[in-house]
């Protein structure tokens, strides 16, 4: 009448619980190198150190310091600092806590506070000034702000131009999803 086998789960979660660590076992301080977690086929295009990610709009109290990395798939902000006011401790399998996929970017604005200039960056445009701030408007209504106060001006300029180039490609075949296709799609003749 009734099946004794438990039903097979049909729901798949893409969030993992946080890893549990024992601080009592490893009392040595861990030195963490700021490196991005990359997918297979993902390539780092440009990076800049000593970047500040602005969390709150009214104060710089919660800002995070780290490294901004642009790959051919996403923008990653890598930091050692924990996220302030964090309620949930789950991790996405594809994207990190501070990652923005390049296909999610709507508009890129660079700002220079000293010259009081702003420029909306397109795919093949040039920057005539060194940016002190990068504002990214996302298609999912996020606004992400980065400050380049302590980083080199030329490296900040290069990473802004790389983000603009890879987020709005002139040919759709240049997107990461088209560039990296699994082997099973290439061997579908048999």
pLDDT in tens, 134-185: 999 999 999 999 999 988 889 999 999 999 998 988 877 777 877 666 555 5
pLDDT at 109: 95
Alpha-carbon distances, residue 30 vs 27, 80, 156 (angstroms): 9, 11, 29
Record the tokens describing residue 59, joined without a space: 């104060």
The mean pLDDT of the chain is: 79
DSSP code string of 67-127? EEEEESSEEEEE-SSPPTT-----EESSS-TTEEEGGGEEEEEEEETTTTEEEEE-TT---
Q: Which residues contact 166 (CB under 8 A, 6 or more apart)?
A: 45, 70, 72, 102, 174
β-pairing, 44-54 vs 99-101, is unpaired
pLDDT at 63: 87
Alpha carbon distance 62, 84 (integer Å): 7
pLDDT at 142: 92
62, 68 Cβ separation under 8 angstroms: no
Over 80: is that where the pLDDT of 46 sits?
Answer: yes
Closest CA to 142 of 36, 54, 23: 54
pTM of the entire predicted model: 0.72
pLDDT in tens, 85-121: 556 556 677 787 889 999 999 999 999 988 888 999 9
Alpha carbon distance 137, 11 (integer Å): 32
- 157: phi then psi, degrees, rounded to nearest 5: -65, -40
pLDDT at 115: 82
pLDDT at 13: 65
């Amino acid at each position: 009448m009734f099946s004794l086998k438990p039903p097979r789960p049909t729901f798949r979660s893409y969030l993992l619980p946080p890893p549990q660590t024992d601080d009592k076992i490893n009392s040595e301080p861990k030195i963490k190198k700021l490196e991005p977690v990359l997918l297979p086929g993902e390539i780092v295009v440009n990076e800049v150190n000593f970047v500040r990610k602005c969390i709150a709009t009214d104060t710089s109290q919660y800002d995070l310091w780290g490294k901004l990395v642009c790959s051919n798939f996403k923008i990653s902000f890598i930091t050692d600092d924990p996220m302030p006011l964090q309620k949930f401790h789950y991790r996405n399998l594809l994207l990190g806590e501070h990652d923005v996929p390049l296909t999610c970017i709507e508009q890129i604005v660079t700002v220079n506070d000293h010259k009081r200039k702003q420029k909306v960056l397109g795919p093949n445009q040039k920057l005539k000034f060194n940016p002190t701030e990068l504002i990214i408007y996302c298609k999912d209504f996020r606004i992400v702000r980065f400050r380049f106060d302590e980083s080199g001006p030329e490296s900040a300029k290069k990473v802004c131009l790389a983000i603009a180039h890879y987020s709005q490609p002139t040919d759709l075949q240049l997107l990461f999803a088209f560039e990296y296709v699994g082997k099973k799609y290439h061997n579908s003749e048999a």
